[in-house]
A and B are shown apart, each in its own frame.
Chain A
Amino acid sequence: MLKFLSPQSRIAARVANARYMASASPSTVSIDLPASSFETYELEQGPELQFETEKETLLQMYKQMVIVRRMEMASDALYKAKKIRGFCHLSVGQEAVAVGIESAITKKDTVITSYRCHGFTYLRGASVKEVQGELMGKRCGVSYGKGGSMHMFTTGFYGGNGIVGAQVPVGAGLAFAHQYRNEKNCTFALYGDGASNQGQVFESFNMAKLWDLPVIFACENNKYGMGTSASRSSAMTEYYKRGQFIPGLKVNGMDVLACYQASKFAKDWTVSGNGPLVMEYETYRYGGHSMSDPGTTYRTREEVQNMRSRNDPIAGLKMHLIELGISTEEELKAYDKEARKYVDKQTKEAELAPPPEAKMDILFEDVYVKGSEPPVLRGRINEDSWSFEKNGFANR
């Protein structure tokens, strides 16, 4: 609510907050979200608009968002220097979704997303060096330089997926694993507004509801698919209602606090046996769909600049941090600089790292998890069969 008040009433609100805080523990703050943060579908009770959270959590979110944005900007520069080749989808502008989800879940929960996955990979535990190394095809990369932009995996993160929408059924499977093992964990299966019209998404909805799987189908609606606005490609753009028989929740994806609160609600809701939930994070990407899209042919530059200056998730949280007295402008600025320094250093290290050696055993090493491989991996022709026992071709 703070955002929309006049300066005078802001101060009043701050005083009220301070008074409120006096009764609460000193390390927590009370957050009041605007009523427009959420919209529900077939849900009796949505997330609470007022909640308490640790100050450190807020600061952590800020740092994470800044690092993710810096990392994506560094990737952009590397791509334009031709050091990253092929596909590269950046999430500049959409950081609040990834950071909000990550802050709301634990490392035991699982996440799977589309090819716009660099931020998630970092947040789930990979270092910036590992992500950048992967993008440049270096051995230090998170997939040992053999996956590239769309194929990053780390503990509790089951990847970007190169196929539009294909991660959604896999996410339902991950949730099934949680249910099967009686774990109190959930899966976030993310997809874009473009992928939401894929058939397999609806197949997953059906099966997840049938078995009441603890899965959150989270649509990251950045308003444009590959060169097409959502309203030109989807008959119904209220993606949180797409579940029909599954309750839905729409969140302001440009406000990290709303994302955090909604994701926390979604986790609690699904793990307490209510079955799946369809979520829509309404966000915006500042760049093109991928590096080969200038991003200004199907929308105006003014629209992008308007979003940047009014709804930026980082600037939004920055304002909250200052207003709540958690940090000062100078401290945050210093942190921005340090984040830039850190990302630049990690990127430089990744740049200087060697690519994987051109050896056959390196090519085959990651087909199976070590210890679970069959004796022979059958090849296209007899001569291509690879023996894991011999560590060489079986029939050559």
Chain B
Amino acid sequence: MLKQISRQFKQFPVSRRCLHGSSFRLGATVFDMPAMSPTMEKGGVVSWKIKEGEKFSGGDVLLEVETDKAQIEVEAQDDGVLAKILVPAGTNDIPVGKPIAFLAEQDDDLSTLEYPKLEETASKKIESKPEKAEEKIEPPQPKEEKNTSGSDSGKLGNPKQTLLPSVELLLHENGLSKEDALAKIQATGPSGRILKGDVLAYLGKISPELNVKISEYINNKSHLDLSKIQIRETKASEQSPSSSGDKPAKPEKPAKKEPLKIEKELTLSQAYSKEALQRLLTIAEQHAYSAKLYQEDSEVIDPLFEEIVAPPRNAERFKTQFIVTPSDNSVSTLKLTLLVNESILDAKQRAQLFLDEVKDQLTQDNGGVSSSPQLEELF
């Protein structure tokens, strides 16, 4: 059988002429970090599914790549061997185009394989070059628009225009050529365009003032009139410190507003450890934050709506500081200082709730708390 085949071969010289012997070999090919989506700039190697030196065939999963959006399995396009892994699994932020492995053909001998030299920055250079070239391109020079764009009433038509169909018809009906029209008719359209009205005025069918009026009206209304807008003056008090400063040119930021400070003194009839007090305050704070500020059983109020319009739940409304000062005998005083962030709508309300809560807690524990009346007036 073999003889038969080889004899057929001699009869078919084409096959030998076109086909090489397998004497030449290709070295290992570089496998670069693939861009698995058009927006991917960097990616991570989650895991290699093929080990070093292991064979794979086309369609097999080589590795799993983590992109900006998802984890994607990268398939082999062709049969081959994973000759060498350059980037181990778990590496993140590998730029697209960076070599991550060497691949070879299945029958290549890995021990004698030639590895191409890696040009670390090659891919980056190629990418950055065209950008620089783009910068060099001169910005398009602004055309002298003034000459053409103004719709002066006393001007003749722009000779480069294509006549409007209505104008062309009208000229034709009255036996006028395009040249005539351009030489004689006053154009009131944009960019020196001859309008139907212009031809009618030229023919004496309407008064020319009408056209001028219309074109002026359009001219006035075609852009937003900002001339009447006055810029609000900044307050004198805010400006004065900045003007006296060393750098008058740089506008200083308006002085930071002091947060609202609420102080309250509560007497403790019982001795509390610091931790216990802290716990008590934390519970009070939790209550204050989670309390619903609207009537729950009302028909007009929709809780869902209230939730949506309320400031974020976890936004910090106030900061709490407390000092315990031992006064007479066994009675000590708890001094609470709240710094309220007024930029949050319900901060003040919740701070008040917090103080009430603390008071309640202490009352429950003690059966009585007195607070200094002057400070209570603050609220």
Contacts and interface: CB of A to CB of B under 8 A. Distances in A.
A214 B137 CA distance: 52
B35 A82 contact: yes
A327 B19 contact: yes
Contacts of A337: 20, 22, 24, 26, 105
Contacts of B5: 325, 328
A338 B17 CA distance: 13
A141 B37 CA distance: 24
Interface string A31-46: 0000000000000000
B22 A385 contact: no
Contacts of B58: 286, 308
Interface SS, A side: helix
A56 B17 CA distance: 12
Interface stretch (A72-80, A177-185, A364-372): A72-80
B8 interface: yes
- Point out which of B9, B22, B61 has the most chain A C-beta atoms below 10 A from its C-beta: B22
A395 B38 contact: no
A294 B161 contact: no
B20 A338 contact: yes
Contacts of B14: 55-56, 59
A292 interface: yes
Contact of A358 (B26, B105, B123, B137): B137
Nearest to A92: B77
A296 B72 CA distance: 10
Nearest to A344: B26
Given A296-B73, A395-B161, A327 B35 contact: no
Contact of A325 (B4, B16, B57, B59): B4
A58 to B, nearest CB: 10
A334 B37 contact: no
A382 B162 contact: yes
Contact of A335 (B18, B36, B38, B61): B18
Contacts of B73: 294, 296
A335 B26 contact: no
A164 interface: no
B34 interface: yes
A5 to B, nearest CB: 15
Interface SS, B side: loop
Nearest to A79: B35
A11 interface: yes
A335 B20 contact: yes
B54 to A, nearest CB: 16
Given A308-B58, A334-B21, A85 B77 contact: no
B78 A73 contact: yes
- Using C-beta atoms within 8 Å of the partner chain, give the interface range for chain A: 35 or more
A253 B297 CA distance: 70
Contacts, number: 105
Given A308-B58, A382-B161, A326 B15 contact: yes
Contacts of B4: 18, 325
A340 interface: yes
B97 interface: yes
Given A59-B14, A82-B96, A326-B12, A292 B37 contact: yes
A11 B97 contact: no
B160 A395 contact: yes
Contacts of A73: 77-78
B238 interface: no
Interface string B36-51: 1110000000000000
B112 interface: no
B161 A308 contact: no
- Point out which of B21, B34, B58, B105 has the most chain A C-beta atoms below 10 A from its C-beta: B58
Contacts of A330: 21-22
B1 interface: yes
A85 B34 contact: no
Contacts of B18: 59, 63, 335
A290 to B, nearest CB: 11
B237 interface: no
A250 to B, nearest CB: 26
Contacts of B316: none
Contacts of B105: 337
B114 interface: no
Interface in A66-93: 73, 76-77, 79-82, 85, 92
22 contacts: A26-B11, A27-B12, A73-B77, A77-B34, A77-B77, A80-B96, A82-B97, A286-B58, A286-B59, A292-B37, A294-B73, A308-B59, A326-B12, A327-B15, A327-B19, A334-B19, A335-B19, A337-B24, A341-B26, A358-B137, A385-B162, A395-B162
Interface of B: 1, 4-5, 8-9, 11-12, 14-16, 18-22, 24, 26, 32, 34-38, 57-61, 72-73, 77-78, 96-97, 105, 123, 137, 143, 160-162, 191
